[in-house]
Amino acid sequence: MPSVFSMIISRDLPGHFVWEDDDCAAILSINPIQTGHALVIPRTEIDHWLDVPPELAAHLMTVAQKVGTAQMAVFEPPRVGLIIAGHEVPHTHLHVIPMFSVGDLSFANAEASVPSEELARAAELLRSHLPPG
């Protein structure tokens, strides 16, 4: 059975996309720690990030940097953090999170739900600050 991320990338489930290319996609988290919290996800389902081929890992990091740069421009946080956790969905994904404090790297501070309209607005703002994928 495909992962929830594969189903979002294939448009079988809804998602708020900020980046797409042949190798990965970046979507907004539905349980964001901060507004603009994005997930960079390889199209290929790879459970553990240590198993990601080096070329793909480098590409995911490059996309995460582009998304983080857009987050800095749009939301003006002092920092953007990066987490690779991997317990919640067995499909590698990089959490790119605008940070206003170290608490913004704690999943305990994630929102239980955010209205789709808010996610759509944040996604549009980020896309406007990203080059085409």
* Of residues 64, 56, 52, the one with CA closest to residue 19: 64
Under the banding of pLDDT at 50, 70 and 90, the label for residue 120 is: very high
Domain that holds residue 47: 4-127
In-domain check, residue 133: no
Under the banding of pLDDT at 50, 70 and 90, the label for residue 131 is: confident
- Token digits of residue 41: 């996800």
Encode pLDDT of 3-37 as tens digits.
999 999 999 999 999 999 999 999 999 999 999 99
Residue 111: per-residue pLDDT: 94
| Helices 116-127, 54-75: inter-axial angle, 10-degree rounding | 100
Here the CATH number for the domain that contains residue 121 is 3.30.428.10
- Per the CB < 8 A criterion, the answer to whether 25 and 131 are in contact is no
Looking at 26-127, list the stretches that DSSP marks H as alpha helix, in order from N- to C-terminal side: 54-75, 116-127
Encode pLDDT of 61-110 as tens digits.
999 999 999 999 999 999 999 999 988 899 999 999 999 999 999 999 99
In-domain check, residue 54: yes
In-domain check, residue 132: no
| Token pair 């553990």: residue | 48
Number of folded domains that form the chain: 1
In-domain check, residue 44: yes
